[in-house]
Amino acid sequence: MNGLQTDASRALYERALRYTPGGVHTSIRNVAPHLIFTEAEGAYIYDADGNRYIDYQAAFGPFVLGHRHPYVTQRVVEALERTDLYGVGTTDLEIELAEKICKHVPSAESVLFCNSGSEATYHAIRLSRAVTGRVKLIKFQGCYHGWHDYVARNMLSAWDMIGKRDPGSAGMMDEAVDHTLICTFNDLDDVQRTFEANPGEVAALIVEPVPHNIGCVMPQPGFLQGLRELCLRYGAVLIFDEVITGFRHDIGGYQKVCGVTPDLTTMGKAMANGFPIAAVAGKNELMMRFNTNPGGDVWFAGTYNGHAVGTAASIATIGLMETAGVHEHIFRLGERMRQGIRDIHERMGIRAYVAGFGSVWTTYFMDREPLNYTDLKDNDAELYVSYRRKLMERGIFKMPMNIKRNHVSFSHTEQDIDHTLQCIEDVLKELRGE
Ligand code: PMP
């Protein structure tokens, strides 16, 4: 890469290619240039060649406090000095964390822990099918809910596959693909038509309340409330997938912000600041069907569920949110970033729309607010590629995909934001040949 020494990264990547398909362990990590990161602290990550970057990718979202946050690390180490995992009964850490989640998240009357967001959405959907006796699922084009067959269709579809059957992966079960119905975000009429076309058949509607997998597409006023009403009217379970929004946008999740309470909620990422844990929570009436409860008939299990690493990290993360002004800080810096970028665009006459909420922002290179996935056809993806690359050369690390979001953490400072803004202005000038 121009201007950056990356030889050590390249050598490591060559080695990885010998033992791992494509050299990476998650498909979307395979982006050029293949930087290998070896150290992280707070707002910064360091590659194998010693280059430092201000990190806004945040590993796709978990780092709400910053990398290796000392308080979280300390609580995890303390926990591991006395406990780990038993495979029987419950633990004091699981109980403390469950109490915190049920105290803060409006829809959470009870909660169960698992290890990833995909597991959480899988369990929520299976439970919905059990309680309704129905099979079909509604999801939205552009929303991501994990890798499993129930939800993998029509994620980030190629433009010519919007509105078509886009399985998302080879090896999917046709039944799963065909029982997942796809709607357009922010279009209540479309959702209503879909319910009406499948009478008595829809078990659940799953939605990212803010579709952050396509950046920061905001729900329009009344949309989430409308979904709530439609689910009640047609007897379907409403699942808010708050794997990204949970704990990042509010300690009670985006449901607390928008005032709409779903039946079930899935959480992950920011709930433990980068440590592996996720959760499914909801109304007792539904949750008691899980067979952790004697008499329950919906299978729920996992060898590593509730491990001390994740539960201690999550207690520490949520604990800091309760006491340390985390949201105040990240919201203030998020707004400073968004406003700063807008000012630069205005000064330079750049055609772009800066979207965001709280600690999150996305620059869409288009001149209006996108309301759904299809609107993003107008976004100039090619411009983003050179924009990101030039920012990386200046030590600013952003999401590799043009329609993904960026995150500010509790470890970022005003100086980080102002330095980033200066780099953005310099890059935009360079791209214009000034
Ligand atoms: N739901 C949403 C909204 C997500 O963004 C993700 C991951 N990006 C998932 C579910 C799946 O989580 P995981 O990768 O932990 O399985």
pLDDT tens, 152-191?
Answer: 999 999 999 999 999 999 999 999 999 999 999 999 999 9
Pick the closest to residue 305 from 337, 276, 264 (CA basis).
276
Q: How far apart are CA 232 and CA 234, in angstroms?
A: 6
Q: Is 213 in the pocket of ligand 1 (CB under 6 A)?
A: yes
Kindly state whether residues 308 and 330 are assigned to the same domain.
no
Kindly state whether residues 54 and 190 are assigned to the same domain.
no
* Cα(422) to centroid(ligand 1), Å: 32
Last residue of a domain, one of 292, 323, 354: 323
Kindly state whether residues 18 and 33 are assigned to the same domain.
yes
Give the tens place of pLDDT for each residue, 305-318. 999 999 999 999 99
Q: Is 208 in the pocket of ligand 1 (CB under 6 A)?
A: yes
Q: Is 117 in the pocket of ligand 1 (CB under 6 A)?
A: yes
pLDDT score, position 278: 99
Kindly state whether residues 85 and 224 are assigned to the same domain.
yes
The interface predicted TM-score (ipTM) is 0.99
Last residue of a domain, one of 259, 288, 323: 323
* Cα(266) to centroid(ligand 1), Å: 9
Q: Is 245 in the pocket of ligand 1 (CB under 6 A)?
A: no
Closest ligand 1 atom number to CA of residue 116: 15
* Cα(116) to centroid(ligand 1), Å: 7
Q: Is 146 in the pocket of ligand 1 (CB under 6 A)?
A: yes
Kindly state whether residues 37 and 60 are assigned to the same domain.
yes
Kindly state whether residues 172 and 292 are assigned to the same domain.
yes
Work out how many domains the chain is built from and give that number: 2
Q: Tens digit of pLDDT per residue, the chain (434 long)?
A: 557 899 999 999 999 999 999 999 999 888 877 899 999 999 999 999 999 999 999 999 999 999 999 999 999 999 999 999 999 999 999 999 999 999 999 999 999 999 999 999 999 999 999 999 999 999 999 999 999 999 999 999 999 999 999 999 999 999 999 999 999 999 999 999 999 999 999 999 999 999 999 999 999 999 999 999 999 999 999 999 999 999 999 999 999 999 999 999 999 999 999 999 999 999 999 999 999 999 999 999 999 999 999 999 999 999 999 999 999 999 999 999 999 999 999 999 999 999 999 999 999 999 999 999 999 999 998 898 899 999 999 999 998 887 889 999 999 999 999 999 999 999 999 999 98
Q: Answer whether residue 139 is part of any domain.
A: yes
pLDDT score, position 44: 98
Residues annotated as catalytic (active site), given as ranges:
144, 241, 269
Domain that holds residue 345: 7-68+325-431
Closest ligand 1 atom number to CA of residue 119: 16
Closest ligand 1 atom number to CA of residue 245: 3
The pick from 243, 244, 266 for probing ligand 1's pocket by mutation, whose C-beta has the most ligand atoms within 8 angstroms, reads 243
Kindly state whether residues 166 and 260 are assigned to the same domain.
yes
Last residue of a domain, one of 293, 323, 353: 323
| CATH number of the domain to which 12 belongs | 3.90.1150.10
Kindly state whether residues 115 and 249 are assigned to the same domain.
yes
* Cα(273) to centroid(ligand 1), Å: 14
Ligand 1, atom 7: closest residue by C-alpha: 146
Kindly state whether residues 14 and 85 are assigned to the same domain.
no
* Cα(434) to centroid(ligand 1), Å: 40
Q: Answer whether residue 2 is part of any domain.
A: no
Closest ligand 1 atom number to CA of residue 213: 5
The pick from 27, 145, 151, 304 for probing ligand 1's pocket by mutation, whose C-beta has the most ligand atoms within 8 angstroms, reads 145
Q: Is 53 in the pocket of ligand 1 (CB under 6 A)?
A: no
Kindly state whether residues 184 and 310 are assigned to the same domain.
yes
Give the tens place of pLDDT for each residue, 353-403. 999 999 999 999 999 999 999 999 999 988 988 999 999 999 999 988 878
* Cα(189) to centroid(ligand 1), Å: 27
Q: Is 243 in the pocket of ligand 1 (CB under 6 A)?
A: yes
Kindly state whether residues 59 and 76 are assigned to the same domain.
no
